[in-house]
Amino acid sequence: MNLLLFESEEIGNPLRRGDERYEHIRTILKSVPGDVLEAGIVNGPRGRVMIRETGIDAIKYDFVPGEAEEPPLKGLTMIIGCPRPPTARRLVKDLVTLGVGRLLFTDTDLNEKSYLQAKFWRDGLNEGAAREGAMQGKSTRIPPMDRYFSLNRALESLPGGETRLVPDLTDGPTLLQVLGSSLPEGATVAAAVGPERGWTDREREMLASRGFLPVSLGPRVLRTESAAVMTAGAILMALS
């Protein structure tokens, strides 16, 4: 946790025992009154908190916003065939840490239909994972995160004008070759990563009809989690 992150309505309220931020300050940082820590407001300014009191049940602090505006997220939308909830949690955290601009999780022909209706999505646990990722990445920015119960609807939600890529087992160009030769200045990108069992031929045809270019990540068969993080990392570096 490299940045303490607060919702705007939390500012001024003590951090109570059991809150992960309380535990981090007390157990990991072992902060004492007078210590100053980096902090920020979700999708708002970054600043500092000064610890006023570290009690057994609560930590009291003062928040002072900084003057510099937090940099915006990069123009990368990741479309992901929804994995199992534990994998989805890690994936949300990692992709937010990297700085992805938007996350779309979609049902597919081959993934379990129950995944998108799991407790992770119903009870706001996905939002907690996103906040963890932002704190790890030392940013206040949390990207929009949406669920779609069909790939077609996920694709319809794209604004248009972006470079569209789909990592897949293909003899075509590699992701790095495309990124090194095809991205214009100020480009935005949408990348579609399939579920653990991959895209079906029907879905590949749908993606192709919407302008998605198949790109290779190499000869190995990757898990959704690995493919998504590898794809996002390469694209975000190219957009820097």
pLDDT tens digit sequence for 173-232: 999 999 988 777 789 999 999 999 999 999 999 999 999 999 999 999 999 999 999 999
* Reported pTM: 0.94
User: Is 71 a domain residue?
Assistant: no
Q: Please, which pLDDT band fits residue 68 given cuts at 50, 70 and 90? A: confident
49 and 138 part of one domain: no
Residue pointed to by tokens 């569209």: 164
In the chain, how many domains are there? 2
Quote the pLDDT of residue 73: 95
Cα 133 to Cα 233: distance, rounded to the nearest angstrom: 14
Beta bridge partners of 143: none
| Domain-located, residue 61 | yes
What is the model's pLDDT at position 25? Answer: 95
Whether residues 149 and 44 fall in one domain: no
For residue 131, the enclosing domain spans 76-239
169 — pLDDT class (breaks 50, 70, 90): confident
Per-residue pLDDT tens over the stretch 23-35: 999 999 999 999 9
Interacting residues of 221 by C-beta distance below 8 A, sequence separation 6+: 169
Contact between residue 20 and residue 14 where contact means Cβ atoms under 8 Å apart: no
Whichever domain contains 117, its CATH number is 3.40.1280.10
